[in-house]
Chain A
Amino acid sequence: MSLEQRKANKAHKMKKRFIFRSIILILMLAAIVYALVANFNKDKSIYRAGDQAPDFKLEQINANNELESIQLSELKGKGVMLNFWATYCKPCEAEMPFMEKLYPEYKEKGIEIVAVNLDVNTLVVDRFIDKYDLTFPILPDHKEQVMDLYKVGKLPSTFFIDENGVIVDKVDGALTLENLEKQFQKILPKK
């Protein structure tokens, strides 16, 4: 083998190796990118700030409120506090008086509270309403359809939705009076 030939041979081999290594590295990079994107998208299946709030319709059972049923899409133009709660849940019980306290004032300003209840029976809910003199709409979700739709895990969980039906914030756990008022300011409809 002449020196020329050997050099050519070597160059050829190095080129082959370069291509082989590049292909393997690109394949693995693609797999990693795929994994990261897929993982990122998985989180996105949960509704969070910036997403359009999915629509639902439930009956309303609070005798102190005039509405018979509520469909979320019909509340467009109003700011909506969508609260998931149950009577046995202590932090839910803690935030209810605050919601009631602010409700009359902010209802005037164009905010509706929608409290989706996850108890099984309505008796306990009625007693709870009486105990705290609640006047905002309370909607039982007996088949947990809306809970499943919003992927709500632990209670309480609250979504703040603006007048365009876009989720502005999601709060896990109880709200203080101060926090609640701040959240209401954020979803106040612009006149």
Chain B
Amino acid sequence: MDKIKCECGHVNPEGTVLCEACGKPIEGNQHIDGNDKKTLLNMRYEGSARRSKTYTNSIVDKIWSFFSSVKVGVWLIVIALIASALGTIYPQAEYIPPEAVSRDPAVFYEATYGITGKIYYQLGLHELYGSWWYMILLALIGVSLVICSLDRYIPLRRALKIQKPKRHETFIKRQRFFSETEHVTTDEIHSVKEKLQQQRYKITEENGHILAEKGRFSRWGPYVNHIGLIIILIAALLRQTPLLFLDEYVWVREGEQTVIPGTDGEYYIENKKFIFETYSEEDGEIYKEALEKQEAMVPKNYQTNAVIYKKKGETVAGADPELEVVKEAEIRMNEPAKIGNGFTLYQAGYQLNEFHTMSFKVHRTDDQNEKALGTFTVDMNNPKHEYELDNGLTVKIDQYYPEYELDDGEPRSISKFPRNPAFVFLIYPPNETKPEVSFVGIGKNIDPTNENEYKLGIVDFDMRHVSGLTVRKDYTLPIFILGALIFMIGVIQGMYWQHRRIWIHPKGNGVLLAAHTNKNWHALKQNIEKAIANTSIKIVEDQQELDKDVSKRGGES
């Protein structure tokens, strides 16, 4: 537990591998960074003492040292990966298909997937991503990130602050770039110094020992980007509160008014018109060539002309509330509408051409000209039970299938939306009580008896569009942006700059020259070549080849 005093006089914290001041390897600690098996020194974290590896007094220290291990962090990530993968074996509870006989998870998984489904359910994997243990797992990764960063940043900063130009000879000799020159004049050293300064190296000197350093701040890159990650994690945490974040979706048909989900019935939207525009030749010559290449239509604009209403006063849900217009908005792609209370509506989807109304005529089956004996118009969303025609005919709607489909020979509708409407009509001729049956749909006109006197035909129809809008409230976005920005700054800091150091160590009549960088060794060598030009100082040798155990050398992280 005692501090280690180096022969240079500096007192290092317990667990130091290389003296913070002079870099001399500290006896007995070389195994920590694996220096005992190599000729070169491991310069990661400057050989500083990661405190966590040494002090484990109290429970706080024990927790701290557990999370400060990168190994633990990697394991947490691996466990989270495996857990996330397990959650994809069967659908999550929220994706149980609506047509399932029972959507109760307790029944569904066993009924659909058998015994493995039952186990899946009992292990709680059907609600994995929202489960407390999965969230705790993610949180632990966050904790590991914070502690790992702190535990490396603080000693690294300390070591770089304390470092002295005068380094121990062993430290110099065990650097990757090294050379020894027997005879060097003071003028030559002076010229090297000047040329290093010209290359924007910062020079510090101590008794003829020279340290030239630049780009130290690139060493903080990884820590800055971890701060960014932590801010992003905090933002993700805040998204849990509906106060700060809500995400809903609403479909609204032209001419209809509906409640905006997520607003607790406070806001309503009416779709006046949905506009879908495509590029055409009228848009100008410049589009012509591009349009010809494209076989499909090229969308130009998706737009909902909407009216937003706010509820006035308190009403029971279901009763028609009194509404007041808040705003009229044209909502386009990338031009959302802010409706108040932090809610924003985004154009997010559409369905074209739902049938709105359809007009039919009745004519005699044997009439070649199909002369209309009477016509009537059906509102697809509010069809009447019967229609009386001018000439005394009565048409009753026996069955209506908004989205018709044959299901095992049985006609039925698969949704409430009139996308493929079909009808069973009963035609009552004047003064008759026995009707004729006709089946009319899109491209279908069936007379089941083949004896019908009257026939129906579609004469006209009217379509309308449906607009899909995302309803979102998000106060966390600025925090995400801040986190992402800081993350990016950290990445740039660590990527585009390198921390380069060159040591000139007088020995007898000559000098020892050593250099270290965290990356881009080639550029460092060029810097040195420039600096020692026209002097007798030997260029540094790359000693890495001398090291037999170098295969697993990595960067700092």
Contact = CB atoms under 8 A, between A and B. Distances in A.
B250 to A, nearest CB: 9
B61 A21 contact: yes
A132 interface: no
Contacts of B104: 171-173
B20 to A, nearest CB: 15
B316 A155 contact: no
A55 B132 contact: no
Contact of A90 (B99, B103, B108, B318): B99
Contacts of A144: 258-259
A87 B413 contact: yes
A174 B384 CA distance: 31
Interface residues of A, number: 57
A160 to B, nearest CB: 13
B123 interface: no
B147 interface: yes
Interface stretch (A32-40, A105-113, A182-190): A32-40
A28 B319 CA distance: 47
Given A17-B51, A57-B316, A88-B412, A121 B132 contact: no
A22 interface: yes
Interface string A65-98: 0000001000000000000001111110010000
Contacts of B234: 31
A25 B421 CA distance: 63
Contacts of A43: 130
A127 B265 contact: no
A143 B103 contact: no
Contacts of B257: 143
A54 B416 contact: no
Contact of A121 (B63, B242, B400, B403): B400
A149 interface: yes
A38 B240 contact: yes
Interface in B26-53: 51
B416 A145 contact: no
B82 interface: no
Nearest to A117: B416
Interface in B413-464: 413-417
Contacts of B237: 31, 34-35, 38
A88 B414 contact: yes
A74 to B, nearest CB: 11
A138 interface: no
B317 A146 contact: yes
B416 A35 contact: no
A119 B103 CA distance: 21
A22 B402 contact: no
Given A21-B61, A25-B64, A56-B318, A154 B240 contact: no
A144 B414 CA distance: 19
Contacts of B241: 38, 42
Given A45-B242, A121-B383, A173-B103, A145 B265 contact: yes
Contacts of A126: 385
B60 A55 contact: no
B106 to A, nearest CB: 10
Contact of B101 (A143, A146, A173): A173
Interface stretch (B135-143, B284-292, B296-304, B478-486): B135-143
Contacts of A10: 3
A14 B136 CA distance: 30
A22 B102 contact: no
A28 B139 CA distance: 9
A22 to B, nearest CB: 5
Most buried by B among A22, A143, A149, A153: A143
Contacts of B413: 87-88, 124
B81 interface: no
A148 B240 CA distance: 20
Counting contact residues on chain B (CB < 8 A from A), the size range is 35 or more
A86 B416 contact: yes
A64 to B, nearest CB: 16
B275 interface: no
A119 B382 CA distance: 11
Nearest to B108: A173
B318 A57 contact: yes
Nearest to B58: A18
A148 B268 CA distance: 12
B546 interface: no
B204 interface: no
B146 A24 contact: yes
A51 to B, nearest CB: 15
B149 to A, nearest CB: 11
Given A35-B240, A42-B242, A123 B400 contact: yes
A57 B319 contact: yes
A173 B100 contact: yes
B400 A35 contact: no
B381 interface: yes
A168 to B, nearest CB: 15
A58 B318 CA distance: 5
B80 interface: no
A125 to B, nearest CB: 10
Contacts of A127: 398-400
A54 B142 contact: no
Given A14-B57, A31-B139, A56 B317 contact: yes
Interface string B326-350: 0000000000000000000000000
A126 B55 CA distance: 78
Given A21-B60, A45-B242, A173-B107, A155 B98 contact: yes
B32 to A, nearest CB: 20
Interface string B379-418: 0111111000000000001111011000000001111110
B383 to A, nearest CB: 5
Nearest to B13: A13
Contacts of B385: 123, 126
Given A36-B132, A39-B240, A124 B146 contact: no
B261 interface: yes
B381 A143 contact: no
A39 B415 CA distance: 34
B48 to A, nearest CB: 15
24 contacts: A14-B55, A18-B61, A22-B60, A24-B146, A24-B150, A28-B139, A38-B237, A39-B240, A43-B130, A56-B319, A57-B318, A86-B416, A88-B412, A88-B413, A90-B99, A94-B101, A121-B382, A121-B400, A123-B385, A143-B257, A144-B258, A149-B317, A154-B96, A173-B101
Given A14-B57, A22-B60, A54-B317, 4 more contacts: A40-B132, A118-B416, A123-B397, A172-B102
| List of 9 A-B pairs having minimum Cβ-Cβ separation, nearest first | A38-B240, A173-B102, A172-B103, A173-B103, A154-B98, A56-B317, A56-B318, A58-B318, A32-B139
